[in-house]
Amino acid sequence: MLALLSFMKSKKWVNRQKNDQFVKKAKQLGYVNRAAFKLEEIEQKFKIIENSKEILELGSSPGGWTQVILNNNTNPKITCFDLLDMKINNQDIIFYKEDFLKYNFNNIKIKFDLVLSDVAPNTTGHQSTDHLRISQLIYEVINRLEITLKNQGSFIFKIWKGEEEKEIIKILKKIFDKVEYFKPKSSRQESSEIFIISRGFKLHEE
């Protein structure tokens, strides 16, 4: 029975991908995944990437967001983290194939203009559990902003809507000048996925 359910779910995913306009468009434009369009829409609205020289990207594989950065910034320096290999290579990319949770960011001697997070846990199918798990990852990123993000820098991340989201927004409003929600058209409407755009980081100076 479990095998049958898994097969049906897999078949549904394949059919959805086949009919998805953004999957087709990604292939046409040479993007490694449809997620690229989400960041592209964010950039069209907020114009943050083009003004960011040093960018930290968490959950960078396979590289769709990185491609968007390279398309919208003439000379970026991109530091990427993921447990999986990236499908693109570029002289402007430094890639760490490791868990950002275990990495000591004090080893990186620079601070970033922009921190991007597309990190997400493997889903269980249980919405509230998945929300709590991705929220925990976002808390971990927020805890590292003092080390990673420049004063007045920006932080853009994905989250699945749920209870913790309000607490996360409350925290962000204390440490950023502006915090906004954004739902790209390329994000599936049935998905609880949302993006939070935080600008004007208030770096605590000791």
Residue 106 per-residue DSSP state: G
Determine the pLDDT at residue 18: 47
Determine the pLDDT at residue 2: 44
Residues 29-62 have pLDDT tens digits of: 668 888 999 999 999 999 999 999 999 999 999 9
Name residue 56's amino acid.
L
Residue with tokens 């309000």: 166
Q: pLDDT grade, residue 3 (50/70/90)?
A: very low
Q: pLDDT grade, residue 6 (50/70/90)?
A: very low
Tokens read off for 18: 């086949």
Determine the pLDDT at residue 117: 97
Tokens read off for 44: 């069209």
The domain ranges of the chain are 1-30, 32-201
The rounded radius of gyration (Å) of the Cα atoms in the chain is 17
Inter-helix orientation angle 127-143/163-175, to 10°: 20
Residues 118-167 have pLDDT tens digits of: 999 888 888 889 999 999 999 999 999 999 999 999 999 999 998 899 99
Determine the pLDDT at residue 193: 93
- Count CB-CB contacts under 10 A for residue 90: 14
The answer to whether the beta carbons of residues 160 and 134 sit under 8 Å apart is yes
Residues 55-108 have pLDDT tens digits of: 999 999 999 999 999 999 999 999 999 999 999 989 999 999 999 999 999 999
pTM flag (> 0.75): yes
- Closest to 37 in 3D by CA, of 195, 173, 203: 195
Selected from 3.30.365.10, 1.25.60.10, 3.40.50.720, 3.40.50.150, the CATH number assigned to the domain covering 32-201 reads: 3.40.50.150
Q: Which residues pair with 179 in a beta bridge?
A: 198
Residues across the chain = 206
Determine the pLDDT at residue 44: 97
Determine the pLDDT at residue 20: 61
Active site residues: 158
